[in-house]
Amino acid sequence: MTARESENLVQQARFGADGLLPAIIQENGSGAVLMLAWMDAEALARTLRDGRVTFWSRSRKE
């Protein structure tokens, strides 16, 4: 994915009023849901850029 494609994806994401987007984490083989976490725009951009999932901590606000 190019940087421009990543940027467009972040811009098109529908964040809630709190600026967060739910992120469902699934097991690759079975598709079983492992967890629900949250991402802000920066976390989503980092995830797309680095290829490693980054979350927003609602309790720590970071």
- 8-35 residue pLDDT tens: 999 999 999 999 999 999 999 999 999 9
Q: What is the pLDDT of residues 47-61, one digit of tens each?
A: 999 999 999 888 787
CA-closest candidate to residue 1, choices 55, 48, 59, 37? 48
- The encoded tokens of residue 20 equal 């967060």
Whether the pTM exceeds 0.75: the reply is: yes
What crossing angle do the helices spanning 3-12 and 41-50 adopt, rounded to 10°? 150
- The encoded tokens of residue 37 equal 């976490």
Radius of gyration of the chain, Cα coordinates, nearest whole angstrom: 12
CA distances (Å), origin 36, targets 9, 26, 57: 20, 9, 12
